[in-house]
Amino acid sequence: MSYPAEDDHSSHDVVYMGVADGVGSWREYGVDPREFSNRLMEECDNLLLNTVSEDTIHNKCKNKHGHALNRIITPSDVLAQAYENVKEENIIGSSTACVALFDGSSHQLHFSNLGDSGIIVLRHIDSDVAGTLKRDRRTPRLERKSDLRVAFVSQQQLKSFNHPFQLGWTGEDIINGENSFKTACDCCSTSIHVRRGDIIIMATDGLFDNVDIDEIAQIALEWEQKHGFIRGGDIAAREKRWAKGNSMAGTSADVIPELAQILCDRARELSLDKTIDSPFAVLAKENDIMWSGGTSHIILIFILYFYRYKT
């Protein structure tokens, strides 16, 4: 969801997003793995909706100048409160989770991730943007088809191979013995600056376990080119278009679901292909586990295409 925070001089959007992936092994105990993860995200949404309602009733918060501002709740606090609510409802199960917010005033992405879901940021990194640190030294500039590359990858949290950190509830607190569940305090929380034109992809491991990260970037590039966001890899032309005020905001809002669907379809296709080792299979073999092909996980994807700055 998103809501504005307004003062006399400017307005910006605060966009929250989240994914959660229920742990499939609960089926062995007659528990639907989807119930816990679905309820966790519903409680996150409820918490944010209630916050907006309370701010409206109380005429919002006031900053030191007396201007009206909405409260911004950190992703870890959202996740922590939602988790407590799910436990109070006695929802049995466990789930990985990733909750993020994008603050349009500072162009910052803040997120908290627990387990093996995650976020990647794709960026057109040419020599002007990258300087000497990240520029492509292997391919001559004239031969490069694109400079869209992975600018950021969030950290996964695993106890061991294929055993991610997770929030969970068995119906009672475990006092004696080891509790394998984590809390929101155990999240990997990070903030990163987002540049205009970045593509932010939040997804469960169903995407990252099946589709190589370089292929994700290639799919995103083809999507950009198809809809005219990038023409012939010409970053300068895009900058000129932006300077003229043509951000193609409406087009991007309409076609972002298409990119999510393409990525989901590709992940499912590769999960069924036993002839190609998926990223999951490669990692399994590195852990002395024989595995071929992909892996059948639920795939949830949220995409934010940061197309313009707000002033």
pLDDT of residue 114: 95
pLDDT of residue 156: 86
Token match 């006695």: residue?
90
- Alpha-carbon gap, residue 84 to 89, rounded angstroms: 9
Domains with residue ranges and CATH for the chain: 2-304 (3.60.40)
Rounded to two decimals, the pTM is 0.82
What beta strand segments (E) does the chain contain? 2-6, 11-22, 61-62, 68-69, 93-103, 108-114, 118-124, 148-153, 158-160, 163-164, 167-169, 188-193, 199-203, 301-305
pLDDT of residue 173: 73
Listed as ranges, residues in the chain with pLDDT below 70 are 1-12, 53-71, 126-146, 162, 174-179, 233, 277-299, 306-311
Inter-residue long-range contacts of 241-249, CB under 8 Å, 24+ positions, other chains counted = 242/196, 242/308, 247/307, 247/308, 248/307, 249/307, 249/308
